[in-house]
Amino acid sequence: MKTAGEGGEKWGAAEVKALRAHMALTQDRMARELGIRQQTVSEWERGVYRPRGASKTALKMIAERAGFRYDASPDGGQETAG
């Protein structure tokens, strides 16, 4: 198990959605936390785009603060609280 944002893993749709669920946030609230549009969170969760740059760094920081952990293996992984 890796902490979200650790190493070279990617923030995919499942990880973004799992983090949001772990934190019990709406897409709108998560967007406000990150300083982005709700539509962007929706597009990440649908796999239209992936977070990159500052957004990826912000997700890492939020995940660490929330104690969010997930299996960053290539088979998709599952979120677990830890």
Domain ranges of the chain: 2-68
pTM: 0.74
Residue reference for tokens 């969170």: 41
pLDDT at res. 47: 97
Note the pLDDT tens digit of each residue in 36-61: 999 999 999 999 999 999 999 999 99
Which 3 state secondary structure label does DSSP give 80? Answer: strand
Q: Which residue, 42, 37, 72, is CA-closest to 63?
A: 72
- Residues 82, 45: Cα–Cα separation, whole Å: 22
The number of C-alpha atoms within 13 Å of 67 and in the hemisphere containing its C-beta is 2
For residue range 11-31, what is the model confidence (pLDDT) as tens digits? 999 999 999 999 999 999 999
Can you tell me the distance from the alpha carbon of 26 to that of 5, in angstroms, rounded to the nearest whole number? 21
Q: Under CATH, what is the fold of the domain 2-68?
A: 434 Repressor (Amino-terminal Domain) (1.10.260)
pLDDT tops 50 at residue 2: no
